[in-house]
Structure 1
Amino acid sequence: MHFDLLISGAGPAGLCLAQALSGHGLSIGIVEQQPQAAMAEPAFDGREIALTQPSAETLRRLGLWQRIEGHQPAALAPLRDAKVMNGPSPFAMTIGHGLTARSELGWLVSNHLIRRAAWDAVQDSMARHGDITLIAGDGVARVNVTTDTAQVTLASGATHQARLLVAADSRFSPTRRAVGIGAGMHDFGRSMVVSQFTHALPHHHAAWEWFGHGQTLALLPMNDDPATGAHRASVVLTLPHQQIEPLLALDEAAFSAEITRRFDGRLGAMRLTSTRHAYPLVGVYPHRLVAPRFACVGDAAVGMHPVTAHGFNFGLLSVEALSRELLAAHAAGRDIGAPEPLARYQRTHRLATRPLYEATRLVATLYTADAPPARLLRDAVLRVAERVTPFKRAVAAQLAGRP
């Protein structure tokens, strides 16, 4: 088949790109390794996504926000404040929503609910516009680019052509690799375990980033359980790789007790209410975001460390930036796969993401170092920063996604 645009990967970024472009006269193909049933009913994967205000606006415009609310009214939880702590000290640098013009810094929602809403929105667009074709249970194996088209050979042997091929298939994108684009990778030597808990004491909708000695704990505040009224949160525990497996082997009661201990009882008794999921921490930034007849979006464009919670927000930024360029070129009757719109997209997205990617890598390195000088330095940094309101206002703006 021949498409105007072929997207490799039907995760949230790939589906959101298809949704943003649907209804504008472009033929869109989506290739995804997973079977269609898995895309229609995505499983819980432990991850809670922190949405900036612009990301929330994008999801509303694409119709995902309304679908999430309709499916689970309590799923979208406000993130009002953020606290950063170091070691056993009760001191915290607090970034409050009062530093912004909104009543919250952003929102939290489960990743699998975003995936489901994106799938449902694309299904609706397929029915209304007839411009999206889904190729499920297959993946990109080879890419051959000519001056006019990108020819894609799938693992099944099927071939397709497109004026533009877009990779949206994870930070370790095989499609990006097939095009010949390498990436700089930083393995932090750690993995994170993510799961949901109820707890005795309220979190007041404040997110925690707690850099302890030998561990990092993050608390992502969820709305109270609508059935029981119990306080709920997503917990992210980051440890060296070799310490993860023993934790995963604990039974539910022992794991709950271990997390309560690691939080020093600051939320009272904590009880596991979900499955546990482990992910390695590897930051990835490609050497290029575009090539002839090719672009990458989502994690394939920037694979962030989660400490600043900007991964999916950067994914949506890439969708907005690329779709804007493609729709402008299409409306003007120009080739959407031409070098000029792709170069503008790369320039825009790199300016928006590279500084924070590098800053995040430095922060993650400093705040996971356990040498005594590093512990003293990060404690001093937090205490000074707590007293510098312009700095805190800038951090609040960054968390909210506002300049």
Structure 2
Amino acid sequence: MDTDILIVGAGPAGLAFARQFKNSRLRITMIEKAPLESIQNPAYDGREIALTHRSREIMQNLGMWQRIPENEIYRLRDAKVYNGTSDYTLHFPQPSQARGGKTDRLGNLIANHHIRRAAYEEVAQMHNVTLRCGVGVKHVETNAQRALVQLDNGETLTAKLLIAADSRMSQTRRQLGIAADMHDFGRTVIVFRTKHTISNQHTASECFFYGRTLALLPLEEHLTNCVITISNTKAHELLDLPHEQLAKEAEKMLGGKLGEMEMAGSVHSYPLMGVHAKRFCGTRCALIGDAAVGMHPVTAHGYNLGLESTDILSQQILQADSRGKDIGSSDVLEMYNIKHQLHTRPLYHGTNAMVTFFTTENAPTKLLRDAVLRVSNNLPPLKKLISKQLTG
């Protein structure tokens, strides 16, 4: 074999997975169609990643957390959910207030490009990892003996195990014949940072307005990342606005809760798609990151599940290798599939159902939405369960 493990995609999940094998004897080859410069110095893309305590632990174990500047790690103290224009909120307080925990936050927020850079810097020091950038994958196939990848340049590589880490629209997953549940929400995500005159109190907010959803991710006390989701047919109404007017539109949506708002950076937009693979493994292959599960951003679990996938699968592989077993055997990969599916499948479908409920705008559903928030606020076991999911 040319390598032991071949990873398609050098995004934050693929790099974190490769880093799991530091000091192991396994040889890792990564294929990435983007140029090396974009991996070494990823550009800011507007995405602020909410990380659970479990994700922080994984990143610390991988040496990634320590590489991120302290002033770029933002405290997420608590979270609130609003329905329409009502001031009533479903409140998830910081853990120390909720159950006597030692931590002072639900989680942390870090910009995506800092995570990607930290992951690359760790992998770049590994002698058992080869990173091939600037070349795409033309074809993949697997059988009982090996995985084979044909590159755009005509070169062919073989490996004991193939890992797809190439986004939620993964072409590798499709070529491997692994089906997926895909949900097109028909919406566009618009993200931008704003400065404001009233403190955000390090509180995340999810505001389910009618026709639009606005999420607020607190960075500094007077700096917040705004995430607007809006119908694809109306996205141009916001994207065509001058940037300062877009900030004023967010101010208007909030009814001045953060005071005067002004733009504090660039504007980015993305199509809103959800995906969950039917299986996370096949013959000598496995899916991680968004290739396995691409979540709606409302629960902020995207990269948390990606990190979890790298942790579970790498532990299965390392244990098999230490026992002299075939790392690409079906029993090794099936154990990963079972463990990860148990967590991701109910979370994925539950999130989609919640989003559908809170974005349905007929009169009976609007009333029911408000009732659900009030009932949930007064059911401590339910709030504890949701808080546990939020903090990991």
Q: What is the TM-score of this pair, normalised by structure 2?
A: 0.97
Equivalent-residue separation in structure 2 for 1:183 and 1:208 (angstroms): 31
Equivalent-residue separation in structure 2 for 1:373 and 1:95 (angstroms): 26
Alignment match of 1:383 (pick from 366, 374, 386): 374
Alignment match of 1:184 (pick from 181, 186, 199): 181
Following superposition, the deviation at residue 254 of structure 1 comes to: 1.5
Secondary structure of the structure 2 residue equivalent to 1:124: coil
Following superposition, the deviation at residue 107 of structure 1 comes to: 0.5
CA displacement, residues 288-330 of structure 1 (integer Å, 9 cap, x when unaligned): 2111010000000101111111111000110010000000001
Q: Return the letter of the residue paired with 2:302.
A: G
Contact 1:284–1:304 at 8 Å: present in 2 too? yes
Q: Return the letter of the residue paired with 1:200.
A: T
Following superposition, the deviation at residue 243 of structure 1 comes to: 1.4
Equivalent-residue separation in structure 2 for 1:286 and 1:138 (angstroms): 25
Following superposition, the deviation at residue 103 of structure 1 comes to: 1.4
Equivalent-residue separation in structure 1 for 2:25 and 2:159 (angstroms): 15
Aligned to 1:123: 124
List, as ranges, runs of 4+ consecutive aligned residues in structure 1 with deviation greater than 2 Å. none
Pairs within 5 Å for 1:219-368? 219-224=216-221, 231-368=222-359
Contact 1:68–1:75 at 8 Å: present in 2 too? yes
User: Number of residues paired by the alignment?
Assistant: 388
User: Percent identity at matched positions?
Assistant: 44
Contact 1:31–1:139 at 8 Å: present in 2 too? yes
Following superposition, the deviation at residue 250 of structure 1 comes to: 1.5
Equivalent-residue separation in structure 1 for 2:191 and 2:374 (angstroms): 29
Contact 2:243–2:267 at 8 Å: present in 1 too? no
1:93 aligns with 2:90: yes
Aligned to 1:114: 115
Equivalent-residue separation in structure 2 for 1:253 and 1:194 (angstroms): 14
Moved more, 376-385 or 251-260: 251-260
Contact 2:296–2:351 at 8 Å: present in 1 too? yes
Pairs within 5 Å for 1:53-64? 53-64=53-64
Equivalent-residue separation in structure 2 for 1:152 and 1:180 (angstroms): 15
Q: Return the letter of the residue paired with 1:105.
A: L
Equivalent-residue separation in structure 2 for 1:40 and 1:154 (angstroms): 22
Secondary structure of the structure 1 residue equivalent to 2:373: helix
Give the superposed CA RMSD: 1.0
Query: What residue ranges of structure 2 are gaps of 5+ in the alignment?
Result: none
Q: What is the TM-score of this pair, normalised by structure 1?
A: 0.95
Following superposition, the deviation at residue 124 of structure 1 comes to: 1.9
Contact 2:27–2:129 at 8 Å: present in 1 too? yes
Aligned to 1:228: none
Equivalent-residue separation in structure 2 for 1:99 and 1:395 (angstroms): 12
Aligned to 1:138: 135
